[in-house]
Structure 1
């Protein structure tokens, strides 16, 4: 038996008037999920423990089988693992987004945050801008490291875990009340605007109608993580397929295999088929027991407040990931169990995460269940099937 998780980041949502009271998941044309739902267990899973922030870090740790309350030490340290930064015990890792702030003639603190991803900036453009930041700001105490797209890393030597606000939680707001209390962090953010706003690359981006990537933004502080090896914990050899450093970092920490896919970039236009075929190869040719396919696009579209593109992302996942995996494994005569779910909701009207339980669908190719379920938030709620500890979902998948 082989095992698959297809994780549509932020895929769950709330009913929208513009969709006739349906959620994007319910509204989307998803023939593969519709077919599998009628042969699957449907329910809700609480992936974010009470008292913890609803982030992709805590939620994905849950889905992959690690209790966040016991294993979470911050988001950025997990990303540091993916980037290859060997943190000292005294290091603090900080996520260093490159964001878009408003440009009106005002003080830095009175600017508004417009876009947490700077028009989903390419890693190539980000590398140029981060290099300018490094030249202006890097010291022996603060080191900057390139990540992917808008997601980068700062290591703070002998730092402290300080309270910081994720930029995607405050889109459209004046930043004054959300800046770091720590003076040096705040000053680096302010100076980065002076470095980046009129950088030649940003001038060119603006001419193309793209948002300027004109400020760094620190958040997600944490210490070096310690995760038990996935194979030791569950007795399965696992592979991670994701474009996002956070997920790859979780995999590195759990000693899972990280599979790189060309063209996988964490955007709406990622290489969906490439991810699906890489998963099939891991299971059928590379003798892996389990593969985790993470797709970031629904979350990004939720943050952007784009209903049309969130629907499109869900439809791409259905046809170009779930459909491909299903058909390829069936064609090769492989018995498998597939869990389809989000990590957390990213409601369009909020443009950020919530900690509400998420719908899951668990399919087993060897069992011929027949029911009338659909894979929607409403159906999952009506099922009455609630997994209160999200980190136990992997045990359901593995039938333990």
Structure 2
């Protein structure tokens, strides 16, 4: 039996006046996802437990069959795992974004989706001017990077772990003053970063080119070293995970899935869709299970870009779902599951915790009467789950 889970991050949305009351998914041409709907079942699942933040780490843990209320550890430690940063008992790992602040407001949560090479220069400067035995900065991918703070004792680490921090993509266009961390130490690091980066030569070039400068770092998403059972021990399957995002790859490493790096996988609109699909097929030729994640619809949602979100959904359907489903159709026994982790509505430009649609087909799955894969049609489907982590058992049978 071959199993494929395909995740278009943030694809779910709400009806839009600009699309005559349709969602981006409804407006997109999705021949392959609709084909799976005709052959299988559709439904809804709530990947974000009530009371928890609708973050990608929470939601993707659910999809992978791990109850976030038990295993959630914060984004930073998951990204650290993929970067090969070994956390000690007194370490607290933070995600930090390179951001653009303009007139005291969050102008851009990604500094124009800055390149990884430019971020590497920023990390070098931060380590030179702020780094110490306590502060360690690590380069990630594009605007997504890592800060590890080594605390003096366990009490201090636990206190730092609980500091209220805000994701920068949630406050685009808003004054940053009321969203800065209350912990003075974190505030001072962010303030110091402005002094280091504000007049940097790289940013002068970016401004000359009409690009947003990376003139500050934004610290959030912290946590300590996680403990999770291996995927094989829970579900008896071996497989791989494919994503451009350190967070998703970090989860994969922690739970024992093979992490597949695809050249040209950027985590943005220009990602290598076909390369990801080819890599997934190769995994399925050798192992039981593959989890493939595409960030582009989420980025379009955060940017409030309707047309780019539709395009990202169509690329996902044509270049990811189509080839993988065609391959699975040639094997004797298979199952395929397609679902977003959470909604990222273009009007809100941030994640919500609403339930998301899913479609599932393959060996042993009796089709229902729903023949389209949309947010609306899924509500008329045959399955509705309040606990997203339970979907994995249903999928694996």
TM over 0.5: yes
The answer for the alignment partner of 1:255 in structure 2 is 256
1:270 aligned partner: 271
1:114-139 Cα offsets, whole Å, 9 max, x none, are 11111111111111122112211112
Aligned position for 1:233? 234
- Deviations, residues 82-139 of structure 1 (Å, cap 9, x unaligned): 111110011111111111110x4xxxxxx10011111111111111122112211112
Task: Tell me, in whole angstroms, the C-alpha distance in 1 between the residues paired with 2:199 and 2:310.
Answer: 36
SS in structure 2 at match of 1:99 = strand
8 Å Cα contact 2:43/2:357 also seen in 1: yes
Helix, strand or coil at the partner of 2:5: strand
Distance in 2 separating the partners of 1:120 and 1:334? 42
2:108 paired residue among 107, 115, 119 = 115
Q: Whole-Å Cα distance in 2 between the matches of residues 170 and 91 of structure 1?
A: 27
Cα deviation digits, residues 2-37 of structure 1 (max 9, x gap): 000000111101000001101101111111112221
Matching of residues 192-341 of structure 1 within 5 Å: 192-284=193-285, 287-330=286-329, 332-341=330-339
Task: Tell me which residue corresponds to 2:143.
Answer: 150
Is 2:109–2:172's contact at 8 Å kept on the other side of the alignment? Answer: yes
How far residue 321 of structure 1 moved from its aligned partner, in angstroms, is: 0.3
Aligned counterparts of 2:312 and 2:113: Cα–Cα separation in 1:
15
RMSD: 1.3
- Structure 1 partner of 2:340: 342
Q: What SS does the corresponding residue of 2:174 show, helix, strand or coil?
A: coil
Specify the alignment match of 1:33 in structure 2.
33
Q: What does residue 359 of structure 1 align with? A: 357
Distance 1:205 1:32 in 2: 40
Indicate conservation of the 8 Å contact 1:39/1:371, yes or no: no
Secondary structure of 2:241 counterpart = strand
Tell me how far 1:255 sits from its aligned partner: 1.1
Match of 2:386 in 1: 388
- Are residue 140 (structure 1) and residue 138 (structure 2) matched? no
Which residue number corresponds to residue 59 of structure 1?
59
SS of corresponding position for 1:382: coil
The question of whether the paired residues in 2 share the 8 Å contact of 1:120 and 1:150 is answered with yes
- How many angstroms apart in 2 are the aligned matches of 1:367 and 1:52? 32
2:159 corresponds to 1:166:
no
Shift of 1:366: 6.6
Report the secondary structure of 2:379's partner residue: helix
Structure 1 residues 23-80: Cα deviation after superposition (integer angstroms, max 9, x where no partner): 1011111111122211121000010011110000000000001000000111111111
Mean CA deviation greater in 151-160 or 9-18: 151-160
* Separation in 1, partners of 2:332, 2:80: 36
Summarize deviations over 1:148-197 as a string: whole Å, max 9, x none: 11011111111321111110111110000010111121111111112112
How many Å separate the matches in 2 of 1:380 and 1:201? 48
Q: Determine if contact 2:370/2:380 at 8 Å carries over to the other structure.
A: no
For 1:190 and 1:302, the matched residues in 2 are separated by: 29
Residues 339, 356 of structure 2: 8 Å contact kept: yes
CA contact (8 A) 1:75 1:222 kept: yes
- The separation in 1 between residues aligned to 2:74 and 2:140, in whole angstroms, is 17
Tell me the distance in 1 between the aligned counterparts of 2:357 and 2:165.
30
Q: Which runs of no fewer than 5 residues in structure 1 stay unpaired? A: 105-110
- Displacement, 1:244? 0.5
TM-score (norm 1): 0.95
Aligned 8 A contact 1:81 1:253 in 2: yes
* Aligned match of 1:108: none
Task: State whether residues 13 and 348 of structure 1, in contact with CA within 8 Å, keep that contact through their aligned partners in structure 2.
Answer: yes
> TM-score with structure 2 length normalisation?
0.95
**Distance across 2 between alignment mates of 1:367 and 1:91:** 46
Paired position in structure 1 for 2:68: 68
Contact 2:97 2:145 in 1 (8 A): yes
The reply on whether 1:89 has 2:82 as its aligned counterpart is: no
Give the Å deviation of 1:314.
0.4
Does the Cα contact within 8 Å between 2:42 and 2:368 map onto a contact in 1? no
Structure 2 equivalent of residue 188 of structure 1 = 189
Structure 2 residues without counterparts, runs of 5 or longer: 152-156
- Could you tell me whether the CA contact under 8 Å between 2:337 and 2:395 is conserved in 1? yes
Sort the Cα spacing of 1:365 and 1:273 in 2 relative to 1 into closer, same or farther, 3 A: farther
- Please give the alpha-carbon distance, in whole angstroms, between the structure 2 residues aligned to 1:146 and 1:44: 37
The residue matched to 1:206 in structure 2 has which SS?
helix
